[in-house]
Structure 1
């Protein structure tokens, strides 16, 4: 039977407190393991590849599963990220493609070349729905999926909520467009946004309506995923509540929420959505 595997992000475990050293990799991996997460994701945009190799022993030590998010700045730049992903037994590489042609016609050969390298290397690619990259906005994603039927997405719809400056309730047109992205999504990421802010504290009462929107998206995405995939495969959900400047802060730079507590809350929400989608 298919399972939903919940990952925490190493980047999201950063505190970024002034004059306070970050906790060791050992401490952060142990915390994630003790909380019941299935894996830890390495974000190569936040941790350069030469430093990322230092975390490899933590996977064998803790038994946590691996996952990689890559930010390739050239066509060949995807290859070393794939090699690192194999080292930590990542089931796929999430791509935030930092080669950004202006036109769809220019984007298509870039995506196809990355896919060709990944196929030759024996690795799947999931292109994240992420701003400031080749999948910068909802309309680009819709055009790319039409042009490249084999292209799969990692759905972090917080980026497209901000991109479209969403207001609730969504129009039927927007609901249909987001639905198309979810139908093509092979993995999912956990963050709640509004039309104006990329990462909302979950406990604020004004977040409730946005949390309900994202719960619905996750349920729908899981339902589409389960319809497409055999029972022997596992689905991945990555909790990715980023440190500041993603996290909202007060005038003194203190975060307004406990991201670690919220990551655990998101884990439970995702598991509930998975159950409801079944």
Structure 2
């Protein structure tokens, strides 16, 4: 199984920025959600390299395929497997699509210890049979529910690669100081396969970064992303790709009042925040890549 996503080229390792389709649910103009065409148009105009999401519905399959070809987008596939068989079925369904990698939120939060390690190893074996890069996301409510148990997984499974989303651990641990957590974060960052971009704090899974990305929590997160990028780049080879997914979530947004279902009333503008995040991450990657090139003149 490939450890990293790869574009099958001889190009030097690079980062690509993808947009989460989940993040654009119930986003639009005048209380009307953008159409699929409008979403793709906006994602392309903003300079994203591709999308991250689930397989298209049967009704949207033809349109989705046309838009993917038109914009030359890469595709990261989300999954929620509880068994190897569930992953196998998904990969069979995905065989007609040019999937760059699979991201997995592995069920469930109550599976721990040896049973969790066995489940993860089973999923890795299935991904290996399909020669598919496979990254387990550090996510609440999943097998990666908390920081310490996830560190135990990487200690026991040498080829486990992660989608880094530390927003979940900052929130779940009500973290405001990071000295104690940082060595654990570093163990996970050494296994970076992809990164999901969102900034949290000890009480909210998603904060408004500000129009200049000057919220105090931006600094710690960009520092972690930078370290994950360094770790990835030190191991990557020709054609390898580091997907960074902008994932400003739709039902993670703070709303001024309770509305049944997903509210259109959000304090922050999700798309505006996404574009701020994209610009921020591009600068972080540029710093990492330039540093690596200075250290390795070749």
Distance (whole Å) between structure 1 residues aligned to residue 59 and residue 165 of structure 2: 25
Distance (whole Å) between structure 1 residues aligned to residue 65 and residue 108 of structure 2: 27
Aligned residue for 1:166?
A: 175
Q: 1:179: how far off?
A: 1.0
**In the alignment, which of 128, 138, 158 is matched to residue 149 of structure 1?**
158
Q: 1:166: how far off?
A: 0.4
**In the alignment, which of 244, 248, 264 is matched to residue 241 of structure 1?**
248
Q: Is the 8 A contact 1:201 1:207 kept in 2?
A: no
Distance (whole Å) between structure 2 residues aligned to residue 114 and residue 221 of structure 1: 23
**In the alignment, which of 247, 252, 277 is matched to residue 266 of structure 1?**
277
Q: 5+ unaligned residues in a row in structure 2: which ranges? A: 1-11, 290-298
Q: 1:195: how far off?
A: 1.2
SS in structure 1 opposite 2:256?
Answer: coil
**In the alignment, which of 124, 129, 133 is matched to residue 133 of structure 2?**
124
CA-to-aligned-CA distance 1:28-64 (integer Å, 9 cap, x gap): 11110111100011147xx8x6567463332123211
Distance (whole Å) between structure 2 residues aligned to residue 248 and residue 207 of structure 1: 18
Aligned residue for 1:32?
A: 43
CA-to-aligned-CA distance 1:192-236 (integer Å, 9 cap, x gap): 000111000111899721111101011111111111112431211
Q: TM-score normalised to the size of structure 1?
A: 0.90
* RMSD, aligned α-carbons: 2.4
SS in structure 1 opposite 2:103?
Answer: strand
Q: 1:102: how far off?
A: 3.2
Q: 5+ unaligned residues in a row in structure 1: which ranges? A: none
Distance 1:51 1:100, change over 3 A: farther
Q: Which has the higher contact order (CA 8 A, sep 6+)?
A: 2
**Between 145-154 and 78-87, the greater mean CA deviation after superposition:** 78-87
Q: 1:264: how far off?
A: 1.2
Counting matched residue pairs gives 272
CA-to-aligned-CA distance 1:136-159 (integer Å, 9 cap, x gap): 111111011111111110001111
Aligned residue for 1:250?
A: 256
**Between 229-238 and 5-14, the greater mean CA deviation after superposition:** 229-238
SS in structure 1 opposite 2:225?
Answer: helix
Distance 1:153 1:203, change over 3 A: same
SS in structure 2 opposite 1:209?
Answer: coil
Distance (whole Å) between structure 2 residues aligned to residue 12 and residue 24 of structure 1: 14
Q: Is the 8 A contact 1:158 1:198 kept in 2?
A: yes
From the two aligned structures, give the one with the greater helix fraction: 1
**In the alignment, which of 172, 184, 193 is matched to residue 177 of structure 1?**
184
